[in-house]
């Protein structure tokens, strides 16, 4: 029996579609999250959303992340966004923020966009995105943050501006008098004397006029709707927490330094029981290291470091990943800690490690490794 060529193509195409859907279903079988496996969207394509965040809006979850190419030398396209009704079945919505072809633009294609985070501003009705930005062709020297805004969670987001943070303003917990007389910034690194000068604010003063450096970052909205920008500053040596303006599009000038000289990056913040908790990593490039847990009773107050919050296989290396974001499930006293398992040879193929946050008898959070688990109750 003869079968037309078009019919053969139709059969093949249908088979490919079913295979893709089957692969997508297999990666999220029975609504399970499987940390470290390849995650597919509903079309069977590998999800490409690294270093980002997940928010809940209009009855759906929206997952934002860095678009990464298979080869590191290829440019990023921008910030991707996916939507889901259940945290396991994801639909690609496109680029929430697209890098531009315009020459000289802050987000000209070829720039570096990292750690995109999105929050909703109830006063303005806008979705606000902040991210770490490095200008095209300048490596990691600029150390900027950038902001974009959208009327809808899926975007498109409109770029607003980029720059360093709080130029000309001293942190609330360091005065010019305290930092006066800091040694030359060119002194030998990692010596006890150098560490002492870092703690005194040597790099804070160095960057004062042009603004403080901002690399790995996250956002946090408190119970009173105040927004905060938490970022690795001072050459990744010190964390800063900066208050945002009421529209979340800028900084108020109020900020603090925490753990000066502590060499922290990849901050992820949550609040429970009136206390703030933050997971960070050390600075070892793309290689994993032991996670760090910090806590405070006021977000701009004194922070205390606690032992590694990770438990289980490879806990001393953060399950071979790096902290990224902590999501509170809407209307519940449950949290999901999100980590990235980086593949520096092919960043597009980096994996996602999402795990539930548990709490001990004293309310201290910890994260245990699970091969699979369900985000449902």
**Smallest Cα–Cα separation from 225: which of 123, 328, 301?**
123
What is the pLDDT confidence band of residue 373, given thresholds at 50, 70 and 90? very high
Spatial separation of the C-alpha atoms in residues 112 and 26, rounded to whole Å: 33
Mean of the per-residue pLDDT values of the chain: 93
Run of H or E residues at 232: strand 227-233
Q: Dihedral of the CA atoms 136, 139, 142, 146 (nearest 10)?
A: 50
For 75, the token pair is 């440019």
Positive or negative, the Cα torsion across 356, 360, 366, 369?
negative
% of the chain exceeding 70 in pLDDT: 92
Spatial separation of the C-alpha atoms in residues 248 and 154, rounded to whole Å: 18
What is the pLDDT confidence band of residue 10, given thresholds at 50, 70 and 90? very low
Spatial separation of the C-alpha atoms in residues 211 and 214, rounded to whole Å: 9
Residue 142 has a pLDDT of 98
pLDDT tens-digit map of 239-276: 999 999 999 999 999 999 999 999 999 999 999 999 99
The residue ranges of every structural domain in the chain are 22-163
**pLDDT of 104 higher than 90:** yes
For 194, the token pair is 């150098």
CATH fold of 22-163 reads: Tachylectin-2; Chain A (2.115.10)
pLDDT tens-digit map of 208-241: 999 999 999 999 999 999 999 999 999 999 999 9
Q: Dihedral of the CA atoms 152, 158, 160, 165 (nearest 10)?
A: 60
**Smallest Cα–Cα separation from 38: which of 26, 53, 22?**
26
Residues making up the chain, counted from first to last: 377
Residue 70 has a pLDDT of 85
Residue 313 has a pLDDT of 96
């Amino acid at each position: 029996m003869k079968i037309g060529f078009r019919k053969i193509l139709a059969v093949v195409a249908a088979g490919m579609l079913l295979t893709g859907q089957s692969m997508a279903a297999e990666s999220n079988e029975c609504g399970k999250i499987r940390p470290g496996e390849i995650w597919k969207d509903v079309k069977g394509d590998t999800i490409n959303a690294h270093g980002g965040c997940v928010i809940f809006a209009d009855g759906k979850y929206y997952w934002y992340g860095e678009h990464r190419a298979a080869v590191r030398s290829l440019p990023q396209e921008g910030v991707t966004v996916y939507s889901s009704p259940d945290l396991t079945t994801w639909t690609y919505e496109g680029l929430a923020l697209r890098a531009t072809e315009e020459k000289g633009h802050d987000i000209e294609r070829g720039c570096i966009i990292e750690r995109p985070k999105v929050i909703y501003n109830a006063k303005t009705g806008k979705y606000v995105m902040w991210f770490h930005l490095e200008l095209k062709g300048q490596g990691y020297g600029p150390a900027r943050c950038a902001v974009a805004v959208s009327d809808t969670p899926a975007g498109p987001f409109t770029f607003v501006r980029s720059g360093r943070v709080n130029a000309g303003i001293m942190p609330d917990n360091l005065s010019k008098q305290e930092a006066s007389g800091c040694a030359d910034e060119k002194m030998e690194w990692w010596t006890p004397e150098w560490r002492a000068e870092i703690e005194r604010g040597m790099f804070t003063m160095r960057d004062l006029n042009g603004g403080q450096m901002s690399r790995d970052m996250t956002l946090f909205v408190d119970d009173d709707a105040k927004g905060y920008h938490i970022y690795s500053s001072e050459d990744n040596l010190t964390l800063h927490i900066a208050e945002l303006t009421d529209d979340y599009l800028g900084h108020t000038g109020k900020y603090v330094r925490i753990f000066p000289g502590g060499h922290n990056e990849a901050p992820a913040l949550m609040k429970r029981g009136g206390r703030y908790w933050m997971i960070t990593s050390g600075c070892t490039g793309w290689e994993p290291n032991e996670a760090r847990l910090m806590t405070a009773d006021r977000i701009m107050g004194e922070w205390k470091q606690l032992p590694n919050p990770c438990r289980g296989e490879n806990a001393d290396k953060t399950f071979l990943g790096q902290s990224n974001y902590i999501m509170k499930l809407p209307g519940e006293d449950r949290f999901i800690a999100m980590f990235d398992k980086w593949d520096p040879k092919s960043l597009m193929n980096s994996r996602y490690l999402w795990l539930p946050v548990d709490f001990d008898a004293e309310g201290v959070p910890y994260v245990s490794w699970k091969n699979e688990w369900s985000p449902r109750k």
